[in-house]
Amino acid sequence: MRRSIPGTALFDGELAERGFALNAMCFSFNDAANRAAFLADEDGYCRKFGLTTAQRGAVAARDVPAMLAAGGNVYYLAKLAGILGLNVQDLGALQTGRTVAEFKAMLVAARAGVDPDLGGLHLGPGSSGSARQRETA
């Protein structure tokens, strides 16, 4: 039985089937000419790839959670996000209800949970340097 992970939908066969057209469109954005064609006529380009009404609406609204619910996979959606000028912090903010500044601060705050024995550079006895040492404070 599929595990249930909070805040997470594993991209399984059901999602892949649901999202095929949306992901196929995003895959096409590896080609600069296709990115330009999308920007010139977004809805027409979506229709050419056979996106569902829900998928077209999610794209038009830049609604990332709706794109995921419609079967979008983040590896491919990232190519659409690039066209829209969004990086993965922007995507994170959009999905978690935070501002981009808040989302970035949350990522940086995770450093506080890193044990000093784990964080930073450690050189082993096999290195051409000296014994194990920590470089960063």
Partner 1 sequence: MANIVGGYFTSHVPAIGGAIQRGDQQSEYWKPFFDGFPPVRQWLADAAPDVAVVFYNDHGLNFFLDAMPTFAVGAAARYDNADEGWGLPVYKSFVGHPNLSWHLIEALVDAEFDVTTCQKMMVDHALSIPFELAWPDVDQWPVRLVPIAINTVQFPLPSPRRCLALGRAVGAALRSWPGDERIVVIGTGGLSHQLEGARAGFMNPDYDRFCLDHLADDPAALTAHSVEQVAELAGTQGVEILNWIAARGALGDARQTMVMRNYHVPISNTAAATVVLEPA
99 lies in the binding site for partner 1 (CB under 8 A): no
40, 53, 108, 130: residue in contact with partner 1 (rule CB under 8 A):
108
**Secondary structure string (H, E, C) spanning 13-64:** HHHHHHCHHHHHHHHHCCCHHHHHHHHHCHHHHHHHCCCCHHHHHHHHCCCH
Site for partner 1 in 21-80 (CB under 8 A): 23-24, 26-27, 29-32, 35, 64-65, 68, 73-79
Q: CB 27: neighbour CB atoms within 10 A?
A: 15
Q: Is 134 helix (H, G, I), strand (E, B) or coil?
A: strand
Catalog residues that contact partner 1 under the rule CB under 8 A: 2-3, 5-13, 16, 20, 23-24, 26-27, 29-32, 35, 64-65, 68, 73-79, 81-83, 87-89, 91-92, 95-96, 103, 106-108, 110-111, 113-115, 118-129, 135-136
